[in-house]
Structure formats: structure tokens, C-alpha cells
Amino acid sequence: MEKKMEKVLADREARWRLRLKEAALSRGCLITATLRIPFEYRTSRIFVRFMKKTCRFLCRELAMRKVCIDKKTWVMGNDGPALFLLVDKCPEYTKGLCVEFEEKTPYGKVLDLDIMDRNGMVVSREQLGLTARKCFICDNPAAVCSSRKMHSPEELAEALEKITGIRLCN
């Protein structure tokens, strides 16, 4: 397991460097979409397909709001899939749209949408005066539940099944 974690961390670092490089090329900002689910599910074929389907929906939603996607880049690593979208709108406006998508669309709860400006600065919810993201099981901040491992694997699997419709257990 330690070797696997080393590969995951190396891929995360490589993805971060690629994000910085891509963001610098944008007319507006970079959206990075990743799965917000337990590690053991992220690289499964079914969740990679789920991610692609959800991101197609995200791209349609952005187009309906007149956000021009200049470039799409898929990255698949040991930490699961990621989609980079270079868009033409300002980071703050884009973050607001992404927060709305995360909170109001059927699958937004399991998608993490990060925004980076051309200078490599990440735009947070807090910068926009918004509350921290909530856990998809309870109303606590997601960061608290995740870091403290507040929910059992069974609770996580049950919540994921309910949100995604993907059967995880026999």
C-alpha cells in the first residue's frame, strides 16, 4: 500500500505542476474537476465513466451560461481522473458557477471543482464570502469529516450509492 501511496502523491504533484502551467495559458482561469470520493473508488472503471458523464453535463451547463471552454485536457493518474478546462471568464465568476453546480446538480456533491487564476492562485469559497463545502453525509464541513475520518466505509459507500446510483457492495 505504501508504494501505491507514493505513486498517488507523485501524480498529485505532477498534476499540480500541470495545473500551474495550464492556468498560465488561460484567457480567464482554469477549472480542475476531480472526484470527491474515497480513494479506493476513484480509479475504478465505473467511476471514471461516471466522472466523464458528469463532466459532459458540467460543460453543457457552462455553455448555457456563455462560458467559452478554450481547451479540455483529461489526466488519468493513480489518484483518479481529472479534467482541466481553460475558460474565458474571470475566476470569481467561474467559482460562483462551479459552487452552484456542486450544490444544486444531482452529481455535484461528488465532484470537486477547483478554480485557479492565471497567476496560479486558487480561488476559494471563503474568498467569495461563501461557507465551506459540506460533507455529503452530514452537515459538517467536508474538510473536518475527511481529515478526522468521521464516517465509516459503509456510510460512505451507502451515501455514494444514493447519490450516484452506482452499486458498490454486494
Q: Is the pLDDT of residue 145 over 80?
A: yes
For residues 147-164, one letter each, b for 16 or more C-beta atoms within 10 angstroms of the residue's C-beta and e for the rest, the string is: eeeebeeeebbebbeebb
SS3 30: strand
How do residues 14-33 score in pLDDT, each as one tens digit?
999 999 999 999 999 999 99
How long, in residues, is the chain?
170
Q: Is the pLDDT of residue 81 over 60?
A: yes
Q: What single-letter DSSP state applies at residue 126?
A: G
Burial class (CB in 10 A: 0-12, 13-18, 19+), 12: middle
- Residue 18 is predicted with a pLDDT of 96
Reference 35, options 86, 94, 75; nearest CA is 75
Q: Is the pLDDT of residue 108 over 70?
A: yes
Question: For residues 78 and 144, what is the distance between their CA atoms, to the nearest angstrom?
Answer: 24
Question: For residues 85 and 118, what is the distance between their CA atoms, to the nearest angstrom?
Answer: 13
Q: Is the pLDDT of residue 106 over 90?
A: no
Averaged pLDDT score across all residues of the chain: 93
- Residue 21 is predicted with a pLDDT of 97
For residues 42-69, one letter each, b for 16 or more C-beta atoms within 10 angstroms of the residue's C-beta and e for the rest, the string is: bbeeebbebbeebbebbbebbeeeebee
Q: What pTM did the predictor assign?
A: 0.93
Q: Residue 42 in contact with residue 50, Cβ under 8 Å?
A: no
